[in-house]
Amino acid sequence: MSHSLPYTVNCSLLFTELPVNERPAAARRAGFDAVEFWWPFESAAPGDAEVDAFVAAIEDAGVSLTGLNLFAGRLPGPDRGVLCHPDRVQEFRDNLDVVAGIAERTGTTAFNALYGLRQEGVDPAEHDETALQNTLAAAKALEAVGGTVLIEPISGSADYPLLTAAQGRAFVAAAREAGAGNVALLADFFHLAVNGDDVAAVVRDHAAEFGHIQIADSPGRGEPGSGELPLMDLLAAAQEGGYSGYVGLEYKPTGATADSFGWLRG
């Protein structure tokens, strides 16, 4: 099965051989016209010069910035998001102003809000309420730029509360019920597979609800063809099921990034 969904390169996992602001141009040289990033700065509210340099790197490369993570603490690392962390609410809210500014300049409309790990000594109910209120704040702040807040189940830590598509969809439903219509599931086929979801069933039943798709093969999180996931069949099924957005290439190349695109020509 084949599909015609467009690809966007996650420049936080690909082209890591290069400094962050050189990666958009590398993606363009590799034949892509769209990129996405995790939060590319150390702090939640970087200075104007840092932001200007990042935006210039996108513009100078001639690519579209299709997606951006909201501030997620140390990533990769021990935080894996701050959406649910009561002690970082102000940091998260301050980040929204910066993100909205980048969105106005780049046209970006997809914003991944990573939930964050459970913290010792904090009631899970407080975590979940904090996550909901932060999501509502993000949805309101980004609505003006046509933005969608994405909620992503991820693998790799039992302390991350959203592991399956069902858990992610339940949180999205809670946010929507609370008044945020611009919140949607980010379906990362690698994470869902690792966490035991029947990815084909998730795609069959919910593709039209996806706010974004990301892919990597499993096991290993390498490029398509390096593992056992039928990624092209899943993408074809997603398109047939009503998904029409970008597909984020969020994999860890098994060699040099530029050498990892052979599957596109296969």
| 259: DSSP letter | G
CA distances from 39 to 20, 109, 198, 233 (A): 11, 14, 29, 30
Q: Are 217 and 191 spatial neighbours (Cβ–Cβ below 8 Å)? A: no
CA dihedral 42, 211, 59, 92 (to 10 degrees): -30
Determine whether 250 is an active site residue: yes
Closest CA to 100 of 63, 137, 151: 137
Determine whether 152 is an active site residue: yes
Q: Which residue has the tokens 């998730």?
A: 202
Q: Which of 50, 120, 223, 250 is catalytic?
A: 250
Q: Which of 22, 152, 177, 240 is catalytic?
A: 152
Residues annotated catalytic, as ranges:
152, 250
